[in-house]
Amino acid sequence: MAALGLFEPDLPAYALLATAVLALSAAGWLLLATPRSLPVRVLVALMIGFVAIQGAALAHEAGHGAVSRKKTVIHGVGHLFMSLLMGSSFSSWLAKHQPHHGHANTRDDPDMSAGLFNFTEEDARAATGWARWLTRRQHVLIWPLATLMGFVFKVESYRYVLANPRRTRTDQALLAAHLALWLAVPAVFIGIGPALVNYLLITWFEGIYLAFIFLTNHVGHPEDAMAWQETFIGRQAACARNLSDSWLLRQLFLGLNSHIEHHLFGQISYTRLHRVRPLARRACAELGIPYHEVSLRTAFAEFHRHNRRMAAVAARGAPPREAFTSSPSPAPAAR
């Protein structure tokens, strides 16, 4: 793959994405900094929320070294598009995302950690109080509450910054600049109430887009996921889900519809991940490792089945076993 140039950063694509994100964000800010009717503000906030997550995805690419291998560039891009533009600490994201790739989508993954909702049988069975009440109903409640992911993302980043003040000086400055840019300055022109409503709408739309990307890739994987943790390719490929490949999905997911390939080759630019699919699929077949690829509709169906199972575990202490796929995954012993 190195001979094909797949590991070289796709700088023209990144430059185009960065330019579009910055230009549309500036246009959206100007529109929201002047009085508008509520329907117009909703539409502009929807656009800004979409663009902000596209920018966050660019920061995600930088964090993996796909934009550049230079630390200054990685942190420059990450802080610009995540800390300043989206208003979520890039340092906080790095601290959480690196362990995610160590044990993706398993109980050892911080993104799957127990909370108000639970995504492993052990955690669902152990849930108590409000967590148990919510987990018993999470197959219903998670759909609307997942749209609040943008707020959760930002709150967690603020908590990280407050807990690590010395290591997050840059984050602190840029988060303050973000709030000034998106709240304080517009409030001068349109009032604090409308400015706050605009910001809340943007964050909510960011959460809807984040949930759309995250849930289809990360939740609802095989129950034997922990059995594939012994090797790198097992940890990354058997515990991830690919979506069908198309130009539209590549743009919407910034390449993360090729989630397996991203976990195997994080330094490959999102524009090239689809070219690695045949190689990854062949390698998994030769090693007897599951390679799971489904349509977007099926991904949501698997996500819903998984949450129904977690609800049943919390309610009865034992899951109703439902097939994860039409054909069972090979046993780990086949490796």
**Domain ranges for the chain:** 11-330
Confidence of residue 269 (pLDDT cuts 50, 70, 90): very high
Q: What is the mean pLDDT of residues 239-258?
A: 92
Q: What is the mean pLDDT of residues 264-282?
A: 93
Mean pLDDT of all residues in the chain? Answer: 87
Contact 114, 123 (CB under 8 A): yes
Burial class (CB in 10 A: 0-12, 13-18, 19+), 11: exposed
pLDDT at 193: 94
pLDDT tens profile 196-233: 999 999 999 999 999 999 888 888 766 666 677 678 88
Contact 262, 255 (CB under 8 A): yes
Q: What is the spatial distance between Cα 100 and Cα 90, in angstroms, rounded to a whole number?
A: 15
pLDDT tens profile 137-179: 999 999 999 999 999 999 999 999 999 999 999 999 999 999 9
Q: What is the mean pLDDT of residues 29-42?
A: 92
CA 257-263-268 angle, to 5 degrees, is 80
At position 302, the amino acid (one-letter code) is: E
Q: Look up the pTM and report it.
A: 0.87
